[in-house]
Amino acid sequence: MEYREKKLGSYKLHMIKTNKFKTIRVKVFFLAPVKKEEITMRNFLSSILATSNAEYKTKREFLIKKEDLYSASISSSTTRFGNYNCLNFTLNTLEDKYTEEGNLEKSIKLFSDSIYKPNIENGKFDTVYFDTIRKRVATNFEGIKEDTAYYSTIRLLEEIDSSSPLSYRSYGYKEDLEKITPSNLVSYYEKILNNDIMDIFVIGNIDFNEIEELIKRYFPVKIFKKSGLPARIDEFKRNSVKVVKEKIDTNQSKLAIGFSLNKLEDYERNYPLTLFSIILGGGTNSKLFRNVREKNSLCYYIYSTVNKLDNLLMVRAGISKENYDEVVKLTKKELLSIKKGNIDEVDIENAKMMYISSIDELEESQDDLIDCYYMIDLIGVDPVDIRKKKMMEVTKEDIIRVSKKVHLNTIYLLEGEKDEEN
């Protein structure tokens, strides 16, 4: 695998050459400081640009054209990275040697047209697709609570700090949906093109010179863009733990516990913290799984995750409401146990092997490799080979030290009201 980076005017072109895949994937990132009032608009734009363009105006015409290009696929999504919102578009197409000469260029042109030549007439997005997407989004808003695990996580983040970007709902807000029109969506679209920071990634068995020429031809962006906003959200800490309970008409209760991370050094954040989370709740060998689920049978599932850009560690569990107190008590006990140094060397070795295995799996996915290199460029994390080496050097003392910088912040319980036996 070979990686090259090229600055092309206002954006960077990142090229990853590998012969592990038969397809070539192109991913375009538009990055901007996240604004709560723009999330719904940004999601809406993501959906509408992936359905048609100025030449292929209907969903059917667009689909037929993609099929003509040997089932090329075009998709879009939005993601929050700390203080930023990332709108991204992805093209996936077969190498020319599996199709016909010129198929890659035709696919890239269709992809570019989907972004830069959308289905806009008289300063408005096509009203047919606009109304279709509006109805779909409105329906999704109504069903948010049905995914109780997701909803409990959202509510935890809102209770931790309602003014911070970490509390913003990734799918947006119903009241903002009602403000979107075919005209102001065009204005927002133009704002993105003129102001967002853009990166383009291409991965596959590629020719570097050919890809550079194709990207220059179909992505002729010249506007200079720059943002000095740090990606990582400011640290937060409470003097006392906040506990919030909300009832819902379902059987299983969902528990979400938030821990703030304070005064971490970059090395601690990237290495010992990761191992700490794995040991605490990162799989079937973790302390929480063994002692809360297996030994005491107090939950259906329990695990921990770290969001380094949000300065946050979360523990999430599916429980019966009558086990709430005991699950919280044991979670606190396991955290305190690590802080006191009660970690077996075998737990550390298992955590390291689990991490190395997950890193190795990156090479099996084009999307994961792109995201990996994007994070290297965006926030300066170490390359994969260095990460492996540094992770293997983490000591027990490093993990204990970082555990003492993890502080219980907020406990949220989405309490099921139904009788589980019924």
Write the CATH number for 56.
Answer: 3.30.830.10
The last residue of a domain, from among 185, 218, 251: 218
Nearest residue to 325 via CA among 347, 348, 299, 349: 299
Count of structural domains, the chain: 2
The answer to the question of residue 237 being in a domain is no
Give CA–CA dist 275/395, Å, rounded.
Answer: 10
Is 335 within the bounds of a domain?
yes
User: Could you give the dihedral angle defined by the CA atoms of residues 190, 191, 196 and 201, in that order, rounded to the nearest 10 degrees?
Assistant: -20
Is 159 found in the same domain as 287? no
**Residue 7's beta-bridge partner residues?**
12
Q: Which of 186, 218, 250 is the last residue of a domain?
A: 218
pTM: 0.92
- Whether 183 and 284 map to the same domain: the answer is no
In a domain, 14, yes or no: yes
d(CA 96, CA 98): 5
**CA angle 41-42-45, nearest 5°?**
85
- Residue 314 domain flag: yes
Q: Are residues 36 and 165 in the same domain?
A: yes
Residue 86 falls inside a structural domain: yes
Nearest to 93 by CA among 26, 15, 14: 26
Spatial contact of 125 and 54, defined as CB atoms under 8 Å apart = no
**194 shares a domain with 57:** yes
* Residue 419: per-residue pLDDT: 47
Which residues make Cβ contacts (< 8 Å) with residue 90, sequence separation at least 6? 25, 26, 27, 28, 73, 74, 75, 76, 367
> Cβ-count burial of 128 within 10 angstroms (0-12 exposed, 13-18 middle, 19+ buried)?
middle
Check whether residue 211 and residue 248 sit in a common domain: no
Query: DSSP characters for 1-65?
Result: -EEEEEEETTEEEEEEE-SS-SEEEEEEEEEEE--GGGHHHHHHHHHHHTT--SSS-SHHHHHHH
Q: Are residues 53 and 190 in the same domain?
A: yes
Instruction: Indicate if 114 and 260 belong to the same structural domain.
Output: no
Domain match, 28 and 174 both: yes
120 in the same domain as 65: yes
Q: Which two three-digit tokens encode residue 215?
A: 């990207």
The answer to whether residue 223 is domain-embedded is no
Considering 148, 183, 218, which residue would you say is the last residue of a domain? 218
Residue 352 lies in a domain: yes
Q: Does residue 33 sit in the same domain as residue 77? A: yes
Q: Do both 125 and 248 map to the same domain? A: no
In this prediction, residue 421 carries a pLDDT of 45
Do 29 and 112 sit in the same domain of this protein?
A: yes
CA distance 375 to 167: 22
Dihedral sign, Cα of residue 396, residue 309, residue 177, residue 30:
negative
Say if 70 falls within a structural domain: yes
pLDDT for res 283: 86
Residue 26's nearest CA partner among 86, 110, 99, 83 is 110
The segments of the chain whose pLDDT lies below 70 read 223-226, 419-422
Q: Compute φ and ψ for 136, nearest 5 degrees.
A: -65, -45
Segment (H or E) for 245: strand 242-248
Residue with tokens 């302390």: 287
180-194 burial, b at 16+ Cβ within 10 Å, e below that, comes to bebeebbeebeebee
By residue range, what is the domain housing residue 326?
242-416
